[in-house]
Amino acid sequence: MPTNSTTKKDYWIIGFLLFLSFVPSIAGLVRIFQLTTGSGYTVENQRFFNDPIPVILHIIAVLLYSILGSFQFAPGFRSRHLRWHRISGRFLVVFGLLSAGSGLWLTWEYPRVPTDGNWLFGIRMVVGVWMFACILLGFSFALGKQFRTHSHWMIRGYAIGLGAGTQVFTHLPWFIIVGGEPSGIPRDLMMAAGWLINFVFAEWIIWKEKLFRN
């Protein structure tokens, strides 16, 4: 029987991950609405209207990956619903790989927008490849029944997948102090900071878990 503290911990973890997913999910749904209705057309988002299918697939995959994944990392919930964890985990792998793969395709194929600096293309490619590799490694370790290592790599992949949520906060100081949409190197650095924060946080969680088990 799970303790109250474990249940509360589950609520905090799930709630925090859903909170990080909220703003990108809303933005993604708005983008899908615009693309399907033809509204909100601008020069900046012209590339989405010219070829909408890849970005719609990317948004749906990211939305499902982030929301479904939030329930995978709550230890009490996971232990009480192992069958659900295993079945939904297979879908999570598909959504995660589709998120990373479509993100790489969008970065490679879509024309660069004027607000992007010279670094952002390379950063996005590195992040996309890293996320794809983390999920593949996590899945392979699960097949090999190395569940502890599987968990570590899935944490890494999911953390990168939630980068857009953290980027809301890395951009916030600019919006408050400077105002307007950042561009060039400042935008590149703020985007990179979101992924870096999540990467460091994931490694800290993994290190803490290893320390506790040892």
Burial of residue 28 (number of CB atoms within 10 Å: 0-12, 13-18, 19+): buried
Q: What is the pLDDT of residues 114-165, one digit of tens each?
A: 889 899 999 999 999 999 999 999 999 999 999 999 999 999 999 999 999 9
- Say which amino acid occupies 187: R
Give me the residues of the chain with pLDDT under 50, please.
1-4
State how far Cα 127 lies from the chain centre. Answer: 10
- Crossing angle of helices 163-177/184-213, nearest 10°? 130
Q: What are phi and psi of 154, to 5 degrees?
A: -70, -35
Please give the pLDDT value at position 3. Answer: 46
Q: What are phi and psi of 116, to 5 degrees?
A: -75, 135
Please give the pLDDT value at position 23. Answer: 85
- Crossing angle of helices 147-161/82-109, nearest 10°? 40
